[in-house]
């Protein structure tokens, strides 16, 4: 404006500056040039290299973290924790800030947290462009935050903590073989593994802009909340499990045996209240135990059941209408069969035993003679119904189905041996469930270890909601079998007086089986001793099965497994307030004819 005025006032100079039109053009040109530069820069930023600045901004302030989901607890039937998730922290380093003091900081942290120095050092140095490295994981929350605060006070920057739940097993070795354990990031055994997806939940994610340690409100922020895992309630009873473990541990140690198992099953519901394995391990320190001891032998070990099998054979035989508990048998000392001679466990003159006497004295010969009346294929059908030869599918991985010879392999010699529990193999839970069918009036109830319903990682829903019931033998046959089994712990007639539970009627059966050795394909002279039974005999509440593999003190089913059975059964009956029925025990005759006792 001033120029214009000057131009007006001094027209001669104005001519030198050119006309307004020219100046206007020059002005527009200049503006256009400047705008072109801006345009070019715009194209450069947005068109040619659009991401480098965005990345730089993100690197400066944007924080991107995982939000770990809390793993579901594993509880016993009363809600007591068997595996528990405890609040823990992971210590995270920003290598851009920690790199300078990495050695000092690594030393400090390894002293405070007991972590590996070299590993900590590597993480603190980090990759050149990394801003986020795990230094330590699963540190109890209070310990971790104290260590980080202290480091900050010492002037080390760049450490922070994030949530990282810890898996704790408050019971230590209680049910450890079933519950399994967790590695740093993955489940490595037992229920932890077979129900991994059920327990794990789903991790979340959070992205937000941060300034000096605080989230900037209204800044870019996305959060996907973690979905915590579901709680798995088992049918186990922690106290009973603990007691059963200690009892079987004592029995195995005293007999210098190889391993032992105790199974406690609720007769009517099929729930497994205890599944004790020995040797076991501390789930908090799984690395200290050999791998073989970390699984559940009750499911993974198969063995020949021995005389406990007679319970199934004879219950089936009675159900088929071939014999009764009072059938009179003449039992010689040895029995010559096609390819070999069958013996009893003790030498005896020819005996006049009733079927009850055969059970009470655990006579192989008597059982084979009685079982000769089975029609072809009949026994195998019964045993299949009892659940032998197929997995129980209670929801644990690594279960062995055992071996029930196929119909094509089945022949008279094999049937003779199967009658008294050799030439077939079972796992302990299968056998408990089979004996429990007799206790439960002839109806087999499928076993379960999960209360309610839960889905395994393999996608199978298991649990008490899926319990099946199937009649195997008639109630009458089961009743007769029970009365015969009651003669076993009877000190006057049976082989297992030490299996008695004071005050209660007990029905049971001993087993002493030769162990097949897979290396030589033969019986190697070692034994499996066992005792299966239920109480109160006339109104069964629990079925307990105890077995010791390869005892080296010469003990048998009655003397070794019998007391284990009695202690665990007694504990269970007292714990659940089961009153004695107060009825008279069975007085079935065990001998017949002249000179019977």
- Which sequence positions are flagged as catalytic? 307
| List 87, 150, 225, 492, residue binding another protein (CB under 8 A) | 87
CA dihedral 54→57→60→64, nearest 10 degrees, is -60
Of the pair 228, 416, the CB lying nearest another protein is at 228
Among residue numbers 458 through 517, which ones bind another protein (CB under 8 A)?
A: 502-504
For another protein, the binding residue among 17, 107, 202, 574 (CB under 8 A) is: 574
Q: What number of chain residues touch another protein (CB under 8 A)?
A: 51
What pairs with residue 512 in β-bridges?
Answer: 529
Q: Are 181 and 192 in contact (CB under 8 A)?
A: yes
423 contacts 414 by C-beta, under 8 angstroms: yes
Least distance in angstroms from the C-beta of 241 to another protein: 8
| Residue 585, C-beta contacts closer than 8 angstroms, at least 6 positions apart | 486, 490, 505, 537
Does residue 585 interact with another protein by CB under 8 A? Answer: no
Interface with another protein, residue 83, by CB under 8 A: no
Contact flag: residue 250 with another protein (CB under 8 A):
yes
Q: Find the shortest distance in angstroms from Cβ 521 to another protein.
A: 19
Q: How far is Cα 256 from Cα 175, in angstroms, rounded to an integer?
A: 22
- Contacting range for another protein; rule: CB under 8 A; set: 186-194, 396-404, 412-420, 577-585: 577-585
Per-residue binding letters, 206-245, with another protein (x by CB under 8 A): -------xxxxxx-------------------xx--xx--
Nearest approach in angstroms of CB 497 to another protein is 14
Nearer to another protein, 242 or 269 (CB): 242
Q: Report the chain's terminal Cα–Cα distance, integer Å.
A: 140
Locate tokens 């129980």: which residue?
A: 392
CA 70, CA 83: separation in Å to the nearest integer? 12
Residues in the chain, overall count: 597
- DSSP string of 515-562, one letter each residue: EEETTTTEEEEEEEEEEEEEESTTS--EEEEEEEES-SS---IIIIIH
Q: Is 464 left (phi over 0), alpha (psi -120 to 50) or beta?
A: alpha
Binding residue (CB under 8 A) for another protein from 14, 58, 67, 80:
80
Q: Which is nearer to another protein, 238 or 380 (CB)?
A: 238
Q: Angle, nearest 10°, between helix axes 475-485 and 428-439?
A: 110
Based on CB atoms, which residue is closest to another protein, 14 or 170? 170
User: Is 487:356 a contact under the CB 8 Å cutoff?
Assistant: yes
Kindly state whether residue 253 participates in binding another protein, applying the rule CB under 8 A. yes
Any contact of residue 579 with another protein (CB under 8 A)?
A: yes
**79 near another protein, judged by CB under 8 A:** no
Residues 286-305 that bind another protein (CB under 8 A): 289-290, 292-293
Look up residue 45 and give its DSSP letter. Answer: I
Which CB, 253 or 372, lies closer to another protein? Answer: 253
The Cα 52–Cα 524 span in angstroms is 74
Question: 475 in helix, strand or coil?
Answer: helix
263, 432 Cβ separation under 8 angstroms? yes
**C-alpha–C-alpha distance, residues 473 and 318, integer Å:** 8
Stretch that binds another protein, among 285-293, 341-349, 440-448, 549-557 (CB under 8 A): 285-293
Question: Based on CB atoms, which residue is closest to another protein, 538 or 591?
Answer: 538
Binding region for another protein (CB under 8 A) out of 28-36, 46-54, 475-483, 568-576: 568-576
Nearest-approach distance from CB 385 to another protein, in angstroms: 36
Q: Is the Cα dihedral 435, 440, 443, 445 positive or negative?
A: negative
41 binds another protein, rule: CB under 8 A = no
Residue with tokens 């009627």: 505
Distances (CA, A) of 517 to 299, 342, 532: 18, 20, 23
Q: Between 152 and 191, how does the x/- string for binding to another protein read (CB under 8 A)?
A: -----------x----x-xxxxx-----------------
Contact stretch for another protein (CB under 8 A) within 27-35, 76-84, 312-320, 380-388: 76-84
| Chain residues that interact with another protein, rule: CB under 8 A | 80-81, 84, 86-87, 89, 140-142, 145, 163, 168, 170-174, 213-218, 238-239, 242-243, 246-247, 249-250, 252-253, 278-279, 289-290, 292-293, 502-504, 567, 570-571, 573-574, 577, 579-580, 582
């Amino acid at each position: 404006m001033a120029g214009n005025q000057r131009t007006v006032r001094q027209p001669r100079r104005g001519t030198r500056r050119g006309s307004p039109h020219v100046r206007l053009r020059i002005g527009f040109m200049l503006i256009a040039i400047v705008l072109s530069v801006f345009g070019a820069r715009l194209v450069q930023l947005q068109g040619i290299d659009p991401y480098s600045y965005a990345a730089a901004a993100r690197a400066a302030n944007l924080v991107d973290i995982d939000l770990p989901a809390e793993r579901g607890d594993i509880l016993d039937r009363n809600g007591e924790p068997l595996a528990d998730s405890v609040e823990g922290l992971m210590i995270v380093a920003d290598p851009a800030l920690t790199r300078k003091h990495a050695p000092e900081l690594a030393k400090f942290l390894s002293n405070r947290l007991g972590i590996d120095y070299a590993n900590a050092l590597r993480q603190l140095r980090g990759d050149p462009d990394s801003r986020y490295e795990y230094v330590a994981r699963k540190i109890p929350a209070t310990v971790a935050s104290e260590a980080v605060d202290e480091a900050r006070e010492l002037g080390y920057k760049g450490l922070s903590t994030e949530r990282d739940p810890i898996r704790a097993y408050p019971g230590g070795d209680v049910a450890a073989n079933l519950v399994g354990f967790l590695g740093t990031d993955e489940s490595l055994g037992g229920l932890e593994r077979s129900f991994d997806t059920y327990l794990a939940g789903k991790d979340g994610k959070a992205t937000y802009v941060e300034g000096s340690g605080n989230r900037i409100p209204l800044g870019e922020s996305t959060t996907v909340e973690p979905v915590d895992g579901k709680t798995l309630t088992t049918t186990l009873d922690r106290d009973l499990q603990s007691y059963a473990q200690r009892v079987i541990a004592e029995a195995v140690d005293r007999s210098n045996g190889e391993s032992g198992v105790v199974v406690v099953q609720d007769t009517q519901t099929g729930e497994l209240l205890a599944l004790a394995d020995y040797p076991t391990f501390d789930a908090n320190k799984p690395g200290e135990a050999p791998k073989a001891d970390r699984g559940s032998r009750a499911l993974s070990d198969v063995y020949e059941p021995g005389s406990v099998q007679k319970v199934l054979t004879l219950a089936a035989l009675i159900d088929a209408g071939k014999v009764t508990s009072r059938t009179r048998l003449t039992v010689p000392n040895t029995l010559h069969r096609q390819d070999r001679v069958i013996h009893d466990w003790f030498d005896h003159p020819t005996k006049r035993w009733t079927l009850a006497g055969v059970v009470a004295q655990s006579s192989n010969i008597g059982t084979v003679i009685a079982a000769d009346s089975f029609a072809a294929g009949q026994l195998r059908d019964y045993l299949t119904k009892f659940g032998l030869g197929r997995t129980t599918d209670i929801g644990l991985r690594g279960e062995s189905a055992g071996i029930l010879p196929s119909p094509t392999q089945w022949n008279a010699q094999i049937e003779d041996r199967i009658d008294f529990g050799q030439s077939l193999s079972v796992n302990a839970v299968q056998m408990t469930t089979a004996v429990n069918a007799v206790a439960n009036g002839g109806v087999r109830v499928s076993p379960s270890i999960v209360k309610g319903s839960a889905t395994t990682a393999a996608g199978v829903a298991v649990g008490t909601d899926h319990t099946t019931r199937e009649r195997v033998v008639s109630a009458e046959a089961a009743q007769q079998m029970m009365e015969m089994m009651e003669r076993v712990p009877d000190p006057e007639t049976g082989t297992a007086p030490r299996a008695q539970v004071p005050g209660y009627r007990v029905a049971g059966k001993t087993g002493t089986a030769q162990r097949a050795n897979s290396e030589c394909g033969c019986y190697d002279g070692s034994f499996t001793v066992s005792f299966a039974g239920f109480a109160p005999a006339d109104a069964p509440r629990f079925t307990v099965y105890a077995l010791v593999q390869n005892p080296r003190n010469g003990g048998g089913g009655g003397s070794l497994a019998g007391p284990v059975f009695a202690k665990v059964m007694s504990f269970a009956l007292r714990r659940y307030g089961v009153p004695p029925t107060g009825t008279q025990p069975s007085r079935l005759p065990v001998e017949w004819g002249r000179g019977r006792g």
